[in-house]
Amino acid sequence: MFFGNRFIEPDYDFETKGFWVDNQKFKTYSEYNYLSSNTVVSKIRRYHFEKVLQLTEEYFNKASVIDFGCADGSFLPTLSKYFPNVLGIDIDPNYIDICTKLIDKMNLDNCKCICSENMSIEELKSKINGSFNLLFLLEVLEHIGEKDNMYESKMDFLRQISSLIPDDGLIVISVPNMVGLGFLIQRFGLSILGLYREELTWKELLYAGFLNKTDELEQKWRFESHIGFNHKKLEQYMKKEFQIVEKSNIFFQTVYVIKKFI
């Protein structure tokens, strides 16, 4: 089956602050993105979860894993099934509160979570018990960095969190494709469905879609948005400091498995 069937839906049947989109309230961010009405759109959005499981299948029941930027825990139930120990980390205390409730609700006894708000990487290390061999960084890097120092700042972040795992450990990354044909189809699809999309000029759209150029768009980048992010630029920077073990383009997203040069 194209979409796969390993993803385990989180059960958010408990009280939350809610998440609003276009005057519609969802229990969580993940419910809106990955679970709403179980539509084709939500299945496409969560396909990267299936892909990273395919790429890490040989480590099932062996490696302990970190889900860095776990948000409200959408991937934690799935990771709990396939890996012996799971640690969710996120900077948002509200997300961690939801994760904690989710862990209790679904009896995910091999999962824990940590809020990294205002923590240095060394402080975070001191909070982590045990050794973790895989680090999942899913839909995170496009939100990290500084507008005027875009990819250098992303790499600085990647270098820091890579210290959370051993030198021979693996980092599994997924990022949205915001350039190329997939980006163009995504934009037109959102338009047809009447879903939210940032305003772009035709020049910006065509440059990103056909030339993979985002120099002007990068000035529109904000941490909560994908616009201005260019995974092809990120890949060139990663190649300088990490070995790309595997790469999989799943049309609207790209998944990388990387490790440190030893």
pLDDT confidence band for 1 (50 / 70 / 90):
very low
pTM: 0.92
Token pair recorded at residue 123: 């402080």
Q: Which residue matches tokens 């395919």? A: 54
- Please compute the mean of the pLDDT values over residues 128-151 and round it to a whole number: 94
Residues 130 and 153 in one domain: no
Residues 34 and 127 in one domain: yes
Query: Would residue 257 count as lying in a domain?
Result: no
- Last-in-domain residue among 138, 167, 182: 138
The string of DSSP codes covering 28-50 is SHHIIIIIGGG-HHHHHHTHHHH
Same domain, 76 and 164: no
Structure tokens that stand for 237 in this block: 């920077």
- The whole-angstrom separation of Cα 64 and Cα 110 is 10
What is the tens place of the pLDDT at every residue in 240-258? 999 999 999 987 899 999 9
pLDDT digits (tens, 9 = 90+) for 66-116: 999 999 999 999 999 999 999 999 999 999 999 999 999 999 999 999 999
126 shares a domain with 82: yes
Distance of alpha carbon 262 from alpha carbon 245, whole angstroms? 13
Distance CA 206, CA 200 (A): 10
Phi-psi domain of 130 (left: phi exceeds 0; alpha: psi -120 through 50; beta: other): left
Q: Is residue 259 part of a domain?
A: no
* Helix, coil or strand: residue 255: strand
Are 5 and 129 part of one and the same domain? yes
64 and 6 together in one domain? yes
Could you tell me the CATH number of the domain that includes residue 101? 3.40.50.150
Q: Does a structural domain hold residue 248? A: no
Same domain, 45 and 97: yes
Q: Please give the tally of structural domains in the chain.
A: 2
Residue 155 inside a domain? The answer is: yes
Answer yes or no: is 260 within a domain.
Answer: no
Do 71 and 181 share a domain, yes or no?
A: no
Name the percent of the chain lying above pLDDT 90. Answer: 66
28 belongs to a structural domain: yes
Closest CA to 228 of 158, 160, 154, 159: 154
Q: Does residue 249 belong to any structural domain of this protein?
A: no
- Return the SS3 of 246: strand
Q: Dmax over Cα atoms in the chain, in whole Å?
A: 51
